[in-house]
Amino acid sequence: MNIFISGSTSILAAALMEFFFRGGHALYVEDELPDNPLDTLQTVRNKTAGKTMDLVFLLHAEDIFASRLSRFSLPKKMADTVVHTETLCKYFASCSVKPRAIFSASSVHIYRQRQTEKSYDTSPTGTGFAAEFFKQLEAASAPSRLNTIRVLDLRLGRLVSPQAPPAYPSLPFRPEAIATTFHEKSTSISWVSSEDALRAIGFLMENEHIDGPVNITSGDILSRAEFNEIISRRYRLRRTSPVPAKILRLFGGKEAECLLLSGSRAVPFKLLEAGFLFEDISLQEYLLGKEP
């Protein structure tokens, strides 16, 4: 198969490329999309050399979680990502031979979150900057859906791998450390291992009746404090002193505040209902091993 992957710097993209390469498939990879979204069309034409793509993976949305929290650059980066996605979907929808499926990375940040509520694949989407961004991102794939291409919005939890720490937004004054906030114990994190995410995508490829948004999370919901503690121990990362929301707004605007303070309690209902089983269901055991 011919497979196009954009956003290849992410944990998920690395796992996908290794999987498809070992399977003998032809990969057409775009590490970074051009700064100007208007150049995206020419970039993808050059990269694919006009060949028909069987599968398309749009994973550049994950770069948001590795962004510098700037009130100037973050909104522009998010807006450009939406335009890139729409341009790519229009291009593949216009091809005479269309892809079998487009897999577009989204996030469980799209839901309206409360500490006591869980979000399913069909739950109402939320408000706030992060939720609005991922709603716009999913809407950007409309040209493909209108041209009868199967589109799956992968609503991913935080991707975790033993090989590399998850991407973290960086603060201007401590870019090398995990940003700690005063609300860590009251917000939740849904996560998924890179291995389970890869297996879930393989399952979705085989089960073509599954469509639309799909939650890909382990079901192991942690407080942000617990999640960050395990991550910092596994990768020996430093953490900042607790940062109040007003400081986040001051340096990064409301967008940065929303990205760091929003929570997620997402359940992978579609996958579980279809018979998929997650293997990594404890972050503690997955990254640190069982306690002696």
Is the pLDDT at 234 greater than 90, yes or no? yes
Average pLDDT over residues 78-101: 89
pLDDT tens-digit readout, 5-24: 987 567 888 899 999 999 99
CATH number at residue 70: 3.40.50.720
Average pLDDT over residues 249-258: 74
Output the six-digit token pair for 250: 């001051």
pLDDT tens-digit readout, 36-72: 767 888 888 888 888 999 999 999 887 777 766 666 7
* H helix intervals, the chain: 11-22, 40-48, 73-94, 129-139, 142-146, 194-206, 224-235, 245-261, 269-273, 283-288
Buried b / exposed e along 60-89 (16+ C-beta atoms within 10 A): bbbbbbebbbbeeebbebbebbbbbbbbbb
What pLDDT does 292 receive?
37
Candidates 178, 265, 192, 163; CA nearest to 225 is: 178
pLDDT tens-digit readout, 166-183: 877 777 777 778 888 887
What are the backbone angles phi and psi of residue 212, rounded to the nearest 5°?
75, -155
Distance in angstroms (rounded) separating the CA atoms of residues 106 and 85:
11
Q: How many domains does the chain have?
A: 1
Asked if 10 and 167 touch (Cβ cutoff 8 Å), the reply is yes
Average pLDDT over residues 213-226: 92
Q: Which domain holds residue 58?
A: 2-288
